């Protein structure tokens, strides 16, 4: 079923000529010797099986007499978190092994991880600061760049106010970089700061956190080895997270586990499935509700679990009951008998896990999709135990960390929100006057108002002034580590690019911001700042399973690049608040010390349990990787350095580092004590609703002194329990200081007490600091409290729109969301007749994200050379399109068009097409290579999928819709 490209050899020779000279041929052997890879890397290049790789012997020999040092860092290409072990001689990265000691990757890398050395050595990097002058790129000095950028920022502030400068951050920051980025936006005075999670898992964060407490992966890849049933719905780890698949496939073999894939596309993961369920794109809710319909009808639900730990299923049943097998099949195309079979396996052959990624989240109903997934897990009691859980696979290497740390329009760091209390908490942590922070914003009201999602930066530039709810439109953008082509509606962004008063791109590569801006007619006031990779600096990052890993620098920053910390420090200094912002952070030269940044984070992150992961503990974990168990990820209790810890101290890791909480490898596991990583569901929705308790009933952790549910701990609760007597005088003094006045002392809580005393005492009594509540199936604060199916904005099933319309137009995140009007207009104008094919998008194994970095890597560029669209044999035949031929893809908005190759394949069903989203550097058929700074153009260019993708935003998050739109395809 998976068709190989027939022209492969021809393409290979042409690319080899391009990257390596006309007579040079790049075969696997040349690849290895030139990329500095040893045999482990070679084994990894073949996609799988990863279980059979053998340990590497050696890389290329160092120069005679040169000392070789070993440095560990983490692969920057996805959130699996594979360790990279590098050999360095004379300051040169000469060899690499895929880290046999890591419990996460244990000697495996995929093609991307195997070729990361090229990121450092690549001649395609942005080498020095550049400035656009009359439409041409010219080299400038760092001092000049920072000076001019700062002056223009201050000018925007003077003319339009702080909200008019947009801070677009990165999921590739270290935690410490992410923290400084959020902090600089706060000191500048705006919540218009955002990052990649907006367009990958913002819906997960909102939907899942609103169900049971935190919006993160509950278990881990390693723990999937315990599952008896795995359902992959909207993820494709074989391509997107390749090394994670070793855990899933080994678990499948060892447990004879059910391996079920529900997806519109027969992916490479589906090729491993016992059962493949094809659904129409955008119908996850009908399928999930349909599974629950079978489960409740047959009595397969976990009644005891629901009674003890879940609120609201009686109410939710009213929606579930609508999804009988006939209606599910009518809407999604899934036959009732097949869905009943899958539902039965999931409910009865336990433990079961549901895995998802952007297939579920990338929708206008993304938040509702993930809530329906959580409900399925709750209905069957598949949360909080080994082998169960919502294994939500994150994308970029630190998208989890950057999200937790609040590079986000809706919160200060660590999900504290934007309320006055949240800002006061951080002003205490930062030791700056709260009133000073207020003075930095346009007003206190704006300080407490969510910013504009990055999905809509260009709307904030282009919409009439009175439609943007801030003092002025967005006038300037500071983009650090984010791809422009990851954002839908590229034709609209082309209109906005020339209109900005300032555009700064800080990145190891110029990125599509550079090529598109010049192509759009931008002539000046644009700067490119070279940032080094994470392999050239140090800091911590969070893998998908919430483990923190510390990376050490392998080599010094290449060319004239600086690390994220340096650039943020220099900008803060120019803007005049560096002394305050770095008050408690040591700065060496112009480089803030990341260990100090992490210590400041530790002092403020009580709400999420990032307080126990000191730099010293994280470094000890990297030194002792071999001591952690492959399945439990725990080190032996008697180990002097990491005894009893779970690898990477997965958050929440409660209390101060001295308490030595081991981390929480499985969220909401009430079968183990809190000091062994146990927790109930978070009691964050109150204690009662409609006369029913929202606290757990008869379910509690072993060793808990409270044998039932309980609310989150505050001083008020402590006093009732008499536990305030357990606080030390020093802790009490800090709590009194946080309270500000004796009248407020009862409100100081586990998340605002800077002494950590409340957490310490709660743990001493065997209790989880955040309480022991019920998960909820009815999220009464969301637009659809119980998930409701809504047809995509652009759907071929116009017969379903009347019954399942998108939500009414409304103002959200400072901007109008006119999805309803757009959907209605599309139906009225018969758009689906002119554009009859569903178009979806996703990931390839060879590339990552917007792809400029990986397409600049000669070893990866060799593997995937052209942008393509998958089309079914039937649809191709109807259009006279041959496999491998050029086609025009036209989109439903803006007369969008894109030229690419056709891949005729049965991976997609009739009526459905699919594109990878990593390409860029072409627009509407035009090759933009000449628009990049000379020598910094990626090796492989191609049309961006998001040129075709259209309007559509999740009302709860601003998530875009890159998974369902409509297109037409014709031979070029």
Question: Is 105 a binder of ligand SF4 (CB under 6 A)?
Answer: yes
Give the residue with the Cβ less far from ligand SF4, 357 or 369: 357
Beta carbon of residue 551, minimum distance to ligand SF4 (angstroms, whole number): 12
Q: What is the full DSSP assignment across 84-95?
A: EEEEEETTEEEE
Q: What is the full DSSP assignment across 238-257?
A: HHHSTTHHHHHHHHHHHHT-
Question: Is 185 a binder of ligand SF4 (CB under 6 A)?
Answer: no
Beta carbon of residue 240, minimum distance to ligand SF4 (angstroms, whole number): 8
Range in contact with ligand SF4 (rule: CB under 6 A) among 106-114, 174-182, 378-386, 929-937: 106-114
Structural contact between residues 915 and 869, judged by C-beta atoms closer than 8 angstroms: yes
Give the residue with the Cβ less far from ligand SF4, 114 or 941: 114
CA distance 542 to 606: 17
Range in contact with ligand SF4 (rule: CB under 6 A) among 26-34, 105-113, 271-279, 800-808: 105-113
Residue closest to ligand SF4 (Cβ) = 113
Residues 6+ apart with CB under 8 A from 617: 642, 645, 649, 657
Give the residue with the Cβ less far from ligand SF4, 251 or 612: 251
Give the residue with the Cβ less far from ligand SF4, 101 or 302: 101
Range in contact with ligand SF4 (rule: CB under 6 A) among 108-116, 451-459, 665-673, 738-746: 108-116
- Contact string (CB under 6 A) for ligand SF4, positions 64-93, x = contact: -----------x-xx-xxx-----------
Contacts of 762-765 with CB under 8 Å at 24 or more apart are 762/674, 762/713, 762/723, 763/654, 763/655, 763/659, 763/661, 763/674, 763/675, 764/726, 765/704, 765/705, 765/706, 765/721, 765/723
Q: Which of 113, 453, 510, 592 binds ligand SF4 (CB under 6 A)?
A: 113
Question: Is 727 a binder of ligand SF4 (CB under 6 A)?
Answer: no
Give the residues across from 131 on adjacent strands. 138, 527
Give the residue with the Cβ less far from ligand SF4, 105 or 360: 105
At 967, is the secondary structure helix, strand, or coil?
A: strand
Give the residue with the Cβ less far from ligand SF4, 109 or 790: 109
Beta carbon of residue 554, minimum distance to ligand SF4 (angstroms, whole number): 15
Residues 6+ apart with CB under 8 A from 948: 839, 889, 890, 891, 896, 898, 915, 965, 967
Q: What is the full DSSP assignment across 67-78?
A: -EEEEEEE-SS-
Question: Is 183 a binder of ligand SF4 (CB under 6 A)?
Answer: no
Q: What is the full DSSP assignment across 567-603?
A: HHHHHHHHHT-HHHHTTTS-EETTEE-HHHHHHHHHH
Angle at 104 between CA 100 and CA 105, to 5 degrees: 45
Beta carbon of residue 848, minimum distance to ligand SF4 (angstroms, whole number): 7
Residues touching ligand SF4, count (CB under 6 A): 14
Beta carbon of residue 174, minimum distance to ligand SF4 (angstroms, whole number): 15
Beta carbon of residue 772, minimum distance to ligand SF4 (angstroms, whole number): 35
Cα torsion through 545, 549, 554, 560, rounded to 10? 80
Give the residue with the Cβ less far from ligand SF4, 352 or 398: 398
- Report how far apart, in Å, the C-alpha atoms of 248 and of each of 79, 221, 268, 354, 743 are: 16, 7, 14, 12, 54
Q: Which of residues 201-260 bind ligand SF4 (CB under 6 A)?
A: 241-243
Number of other CB atoms surrounding residue 897 within 10 Å: 20
Give the residue with the Cβ less far from ligand SF4, 240 or 904: 240
Give the residue with the Cβ less far from ligand SF4, 75 or 295: 75
Beta carbon of residue 109, minimum distance to ligand SF4 (angstroms, whole number): 4
Candidates 128, 105, 114; CA nearest to 50 is 105
Beta carbon of residue 105, minimum distance to ligand SF4 (angstroms, whole number): 6
CA distance 484 to 928: 15
Give the residue with the Cβ less far from ligand SF4, 99 or 777: 99
In angstroms, the first-to-last Cα distance of the chain is: 26
User: Does residue 49 have a cis bond before it (omega within 30 degrees)?
Assistant: yes
Give the residue with the Cβ less far from ligand SF4, 77 or 627: 77
Give the residue with the Cβ less far from ligand SF4, 189 or 850: 850
- Contact string (CB under 6 A) for ligand SF4, positions 585-624, x = contact: ----------------------------------------
Beta carbon of residue 92, minimum distance to ligand SF4 (angstroms, whole number): 22
Beta carbon of residue 104, minimum distance to ligand SF4 (angstroms, whole number): 8
From the number of C-beta atoms within 10 Å of its C-beta (0-12, 13-18, 19+), residue 720 rates as exposed
CA distance 677 to 653: 8
CA distance 501 to 345: 57
Candidates 869, 862, 910; CA nearest to 887 is 869
Which tokens hold the place of 55? 């340990």
Beta carbon of residue 28, minimum distance to ligand SF4 (angstroms, whole number): 18
Question: Is 112 a binder of ligand SF4 (CB under 6 A)?
Answer: yes
Give the residues across from 93 on adjacent strands. 88
Residues in the chain: 972
Alpha helices in 454-589 (DSSP H): 457-462, 490-496, 511-519, 564-575, 578-581
Give the residue with the Cβ less far from ligand SF4, 120 or 496: 120
Range in contact with ligand SF4 (rule: CB under 6 A) among 110-118, 300-308, 713-721, 811-819: 110-118
Structural contact between residues 618 and 594, judged by C-beta atoms closer than 8 angstroms: no
Q: Which of 110, 399, 571, 928 binds ligand SF4 (CB under 6 A)?
A: 110
Give the residues across from 528 on adjacent strands. 130, 505
Range in contact with ligand SF4 (rule: CB under 6 A) among 24-32, 104-112, 743-751, 897-905: 104-112
Helices 142-160 and 564-575: angle between axes, nearest 10 degrees: 50
Beta carbon of residue 77, minimum distance to ligand SF4 (angstroms, whole number): 3
Give the residue with the Cβ less far from ligand SF4, 78 or 727: 78
Helix (H) or strand (E) holding 392: strand 389-392
Alpha helices in 663-794 (DSSP H): 715-721, 729-739, 757-764
Beta carbon of residue 233, minimum distance to ligand SF4 (angstroms, whole number): 20
Give the residue with the Cβ less far from ligand SF4, 403 or 806: 403
Beta carbon of residue 393, minimum distance to ligand SF4 (angstroms, whole number): 10
Give the residue with the Cβ less far from ligand SF4, 50 or 126: 50
Give the residue with the Cβ less far from ligand SF4, 109 or 599: 109
Q: Which of residues 140-159 bind ligand SF4 (CB under 6 A)?
A: none
Beta carbon of residue 62, minimum distance to ligand SF4 (angstroms, whole number): 24
Range in contact with ligand SF4 (rule: CB under 6 A) among 109-117, 557-565, 850-858, 938-946: 109-117
Beta carbon of residue 71, minimum distance to ligand SF4 (angstroms, whole number): 17
Beta carbon of residue 397, minimum distance to ligand SF4 (angstroms, whole number): 7
Q: Which of 72, 106, 109, 899 binds ligand SF4 (CB under 6 A)?
A: 109
Beta carbon of residue 547, minimum distance to ligand SF4 (angstroms, whole number): 12
Range in contact with ligand SF4 (rule: CB under 6 A) among 53-61, 103-111, 149-157, 255-263: 103-111
Phi/psi at 119 (5° precision): -60, -35
CA distance 565 to 827: 49
- Residue-wise burial string across 226-246, b where 16 or more C-beta atoms lie within 10 A, e elsewhere: bbbbbbbbbbbbbbbbbbbbb
Which positions touch ligand SF4 (CB under 6 A)? 75, 77-78, 80-82, 105, 109-110, 112-113, 241-243
């Amino acid at each position: 079923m998976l068709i190989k490209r027939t022209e492969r050899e021809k393409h290979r020779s042409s690319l080899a000529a391009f990257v390596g000279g006309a007579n040079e041929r790049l075969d696997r052997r040349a690849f290895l010797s030139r990329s500095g890879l040893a045999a482990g890397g070679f084994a990894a290049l073949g996609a799988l099986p990863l279980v059979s790789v053998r340990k590497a012997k050696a890389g290329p020999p160092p120069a005679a007499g040169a000392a070789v040092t070993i440095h560990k860092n983490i692969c920057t290409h996805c959130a699996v978190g594979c360790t990279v072990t590098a050999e360095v001689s004379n300051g040169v990265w000469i060899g690499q092994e895929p880290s046999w000691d890591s419990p996460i990757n244990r000697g495996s890398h995929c093609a991307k991880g195997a070729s990361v050395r090229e990121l450092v050595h690549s001649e395609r990097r942005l080498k020095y600061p550049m400035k656009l002058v009359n439409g041409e790129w010219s080299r400038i000095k760092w001092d000049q760049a920072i000076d001019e950028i700062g002056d223009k920022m201050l000018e925007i502030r003077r003319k339009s106010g702080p909200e008019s400068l947009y801070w677009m951050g990165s999921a590739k920051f270290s935690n410490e970089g992410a923290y400084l980025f959020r902090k600089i936006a706060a000191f500048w005075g705006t919540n218009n700061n955002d990052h990649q999670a907006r367009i990958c898992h913002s819906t997960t964060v909102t939907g899942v956190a609103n169900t049971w407490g935190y919006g993160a992966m509950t278990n881990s890849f390693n723990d999937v080895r315990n599952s008896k049933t795995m359902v992959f719905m909207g993820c494709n780890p074989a391509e997107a997270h390749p090394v994670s698949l070793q855990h899933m496939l080994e678990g499948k073999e060892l447990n004879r586990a059910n391996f079920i894939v529900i997806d519109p596309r027969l992916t490479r993961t589906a090729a491993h499935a016992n059962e493949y369920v094809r659904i129409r794109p955008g119908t996850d809710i009908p399928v999930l509700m349909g599974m629950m319909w079978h489960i409740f009808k047959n009595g397969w639900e976990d009644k005891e679990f629901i009674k003890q730990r879940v609120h609201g299923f009686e109410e939710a049943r009213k929606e579930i009951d609508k999804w009988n097998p006939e209606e599910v099949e009518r809407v999604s195309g899934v036959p009732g008998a097949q869905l009943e079979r899958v539902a039965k396996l999931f409910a009865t052959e336990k433990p079961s896990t549901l895995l998802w990624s952007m297939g579920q989240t990338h929708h206008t109903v993304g938040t509702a999709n993930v809530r329906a997934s959580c409900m399925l897990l709750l209905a069957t009691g598949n949360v909080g135990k080994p082998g169960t859980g919502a294994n939500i696979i994150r994308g970029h290497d630190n998208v989890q960390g950057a999200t937790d740390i609040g590079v986000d329009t809706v919160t200060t760091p660590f999900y504290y929100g934007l309320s006055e209390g949240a800002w006061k908490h951080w002003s205490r942590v930062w030791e700056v006057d709260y009133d000073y922070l207020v003075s930095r914003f346009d007003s206190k009201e704006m300080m407490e108002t969510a910013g504009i999602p990055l999905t809509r930066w260009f709307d904030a530039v282009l919409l009439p002034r009175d439609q943007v709810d801030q003092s002025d439109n967005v006038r300037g953008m500071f983009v650090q580590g984010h791809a422009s082509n990851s954002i839908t509606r590229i034709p609209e962004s082309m209109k906005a690019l020339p209109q900005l008063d300032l555009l700064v791109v800080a990145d190891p590569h110029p990125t599509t911001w550079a090529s598109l801006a010049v192509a759009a007619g931008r002539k000046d006031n644009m700067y490119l700042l070279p940032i080094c990779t994470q392999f050239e600096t140090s800091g911590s990052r969070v893998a998908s399973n919430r483990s923190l890993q510390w990376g050490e620098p392998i080599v010094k920053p290449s060319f004239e690049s600086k690390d994220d910390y340096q650039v943020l420090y220099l900008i803060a200094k120019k803007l005049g608040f560096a002394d305050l912002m770095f008050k408690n952070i040591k700065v060496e030269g112009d480089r803030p010390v990341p260990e100090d940044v992490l210590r400041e984070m530790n002092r403020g992150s009580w709400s999420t349990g990032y307080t126990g992961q000191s730099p010293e503990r994280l470094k000890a974990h990297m030194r002792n990787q071999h001591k952690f168990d492959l399945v439990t990820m725990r080190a032996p209790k008697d180990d002097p350095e990491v005894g009893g810890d779970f690898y990477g101290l997965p958050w929440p890791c409660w209390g101060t580092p001295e308490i030595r909480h081991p981390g929480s490898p499985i969220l909401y596991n009430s079968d183990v004590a809190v000091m062994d990583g146990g927790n109930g569901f978070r009691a964050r929705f109150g204690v009662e609703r409609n006369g029913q308790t929202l606290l757990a009933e008869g379910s509690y952790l072993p060793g808990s002194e409270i044998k039932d549910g309980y609310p989150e701990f505050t001083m008020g609760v402590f006093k009732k329990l008499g536990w305030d007597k357990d606080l030390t005088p020093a802790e009490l003094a800090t709590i009194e200081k946080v309270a500000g006045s004796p009248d407020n002392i009862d409100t100081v809580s586990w998340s605002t007490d800077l002494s950590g005393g409340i957490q310490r005492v709660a743990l001493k009594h065997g209790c989880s600091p955040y309480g022991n509540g019920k998960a909820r199936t009815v999220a009464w604060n969301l637009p659809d409290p119980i998930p409701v199916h809504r047809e995509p904005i652009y759907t071929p099933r116009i017969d379903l729109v009347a019954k399942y319309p998108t939500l009414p137009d409304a103002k959200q995140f400072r901007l109008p969301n006119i999805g309803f009007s757009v959907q209605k207009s599309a139906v009225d104008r018969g758009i689906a007749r002119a554009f009859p094919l569903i178009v979806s998008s996703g990931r390839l194994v060879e590339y990552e994200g917007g792809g400029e970095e990986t397409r600049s890597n000669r070893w990866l560029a060799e593997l995937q050379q052209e942008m393509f669209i998958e089309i079914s044999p039937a649809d191709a035949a109807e259009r006279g399109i041959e496999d491998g031929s050029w086609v025009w893809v036209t989109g439903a908005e803006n007369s969008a068009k894109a030229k690419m190759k056709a891949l005729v394949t049965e991976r997609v069903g009739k009526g459905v097409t699919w594109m990878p989203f990593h390409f860029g550097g072409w627009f509407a058929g035009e090759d933009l290579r000449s628009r990049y700074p000379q020598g910094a153009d990626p090796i492989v260019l191609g049309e961006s999928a998001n040129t075709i993708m259209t309007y559509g935003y999740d009302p709860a998050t601003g998530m875009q819709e890159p998974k369902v739109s409509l297109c037409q395809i014709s031979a070029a």
